[in-house]
Amino acid sequence: MPGKLIYLMGPSGSGKDSLLQLASDDLLANGCRIARRVITRSAESVGEDALGVTAEAFARMVEEGAFALHWQANGLSYGIPRQIDDWLASGLDVLVNGSREYLPVARQRYPDLLAVLLVVQPGMLRQRLLARKRETAAQIDARLARNASFVEADDGCVTIDNTGRLEDAKTRLIDLVMDARRRT
Ligand SMILES: Nc1ncnc2c1ncn2[C@@H]1O[C@H](COP(=O)(O)OP(=O)(O)O)[C@@H](O)[C@H]1O
Ligand SMILES: O=P(O)(O)OC[C@H]1O[C@H](OP(=O)(O)OP(=O)(O)O)[C@H](O)[C@@H]1O
> Is the confidence at residue 33, as pLDDT, over 70?
yes
Q: How far is the CA of 101 from the centre of ligand 2 (A)?
A: 10
Cβ of 165 closer than 6 Å to ligand 1, yes or no, is yes
Over residues 42-66, the mean pLDDT reads: 86
Number of separate domains in the chain = 1
Dihedral of alpha carbons 14, 30, 155, 111, sign: positive
Cβ of 132 closer than 6 Å to ligand 1, yes or no, is yes
Q: How far is the CA of 131 from the centre of ligand 1 (A)?
A: 8
Global ipTM: 0.96
Quote the crossing angle between the two packed helices 137-147 and 124-132, to the nearest 10°. Answer: 150
pLDDT per position as a tens digit, 60-119:
999 999 999 999 998 999 999 999 999 999 999 999 999 999 999 999 999 999 999 999
Provide the domain limits for residue 118: 5-183
Average predicted confidence (pLDDT) for the chain: 92
- Identify the CATH number of the domain in which residue 135 sits: 3.40.50.300
Residue 175: count other Cβ atoms within 10 Å of its Cβ: 11
Task: For ligand 1, atom 1, name the residue with the nearest CA.
Answer: 166
Question: How far is C-alpha 148 from the geometric centre of its chain's CA atoms?
Answer: 19
What atom in ligand 2 is closest to the CA of residue 47?
Answer: 16
